[in-house]
């Protein structure tokens, strides 16, 4: 019993690319695994500076962005992204342990398209991702 190699990946020809930016390796690995298992192409960055570089190089369909990170926090990354004429259309979901109203309001002020608090519910995250990617492509 062998693998049908010719069939593997055929349904993934039009995968949406998601960039996960978070400084906690365990979270990045877990989220990347869960999203890949649902057919997404996932790239990662471990801080805001690396994240901005990957946004410009990779042109992801969506960014999952932590707030508290070294080099550059998520608010600053989101602000820079949304001020760039080429990248501002990329949806951003702030992805953080901070569930306070102040953080949510600040994320919206800096241009975030949505917000999810860790720990999160995977179906909720996937629904938010799909909604924003569908909205962007229409």
Q: Which of 114, 123, 69 lies closest to 91, judged by CA?
A: 114
Q: Per residue in 51-61, pLDDT tens?
A: 999 999 999 99
Number of domains within the chain: 1
**52 domain residue, yes or no:** yes
Domain range for 22 is 17-137
Q: Per residue in 108-117, pLDDT tens?
A: 999 999 999 9
The pLDDT score that the predictor gives to residue 79 is 96
3-state secondary structure of 34: helix
Is the pLDDT confidence value at 2 over 50? no
Cα-trace Rg, the chain: 15
The pLDDT score that the predictor gives to residue 86 is 87
Asked whether the beta carbons of 68 and 118 are under 8 A apart, the reply is no
**23 domain residue, yes or no:** yes
**11 domain residue, yes or no:** no
- Give the integer Cα–Cα distance in Å for 70 and 50: 10
Task: Return the percentage of the chain with pLDDT > 70, whole number.
Answer: 90
- Within a 10 A sphere around the Cβ of 127, how many other Cβ atoms? 11
**53 domain residue, yes or no:** yes
**2 domain residue, yes or no:** no
**5 domain residue, yes or no:** no
**103 domain residue, yes or no:** yes
The pLDDT score that the predictor gives to residue 6 is 37
- Give the integer Cα–Cα distance in Å for 126 and 23: 21
Task: List the structure tokens of 70.
Answer: 């070294």
**4 domain residue, yes or no:** no
- Give the integer Cα–Cα distance in Å for 25 and 135: 30
CATH number at residue 25: 3.40.50.2300
Q: Per residue in 74-109, pLDDT tens?
A: 999 999 999 999 899 999 999 989 888 999 999 999
- Within a 10 A sphere around the Cβ of 33, how many other Cβ atoms? 10
Average pLDDT over residues 56-77: 94
Question: In the predicted model, what is the mean pLDDT of the chain?
Answer: 88
């Amino acid at each position: 019993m062998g693998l049908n190699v010719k069939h593997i990946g055929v349904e993934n020809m039009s995968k949406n690319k998601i960039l996960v930016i978070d400084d906690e390796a365990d979270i990045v690995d877990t989220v990347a695994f869960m999203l890949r298992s649902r057919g997404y192409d996932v790239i990662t960055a471990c801080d805001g500076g690396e994240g901005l570089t990957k946004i410009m190089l990779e042109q992801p369909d969506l960014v999952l962005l932590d707030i508290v990170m070294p080099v550059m926090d998520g608010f600053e990354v989101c602000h820079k992204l949304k001020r760039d004429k080429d990248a501002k259309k990329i949806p951003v979901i702030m992805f953080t342990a901070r569930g306070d109203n102040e953080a949510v309001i600040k994320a919206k002020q800096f241009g975030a398209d949505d917000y999810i608090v860790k720990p999160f519910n995977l179906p909720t995250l996937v629904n938010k991702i799909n909604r924003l990617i569908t909205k962007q492509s229409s």
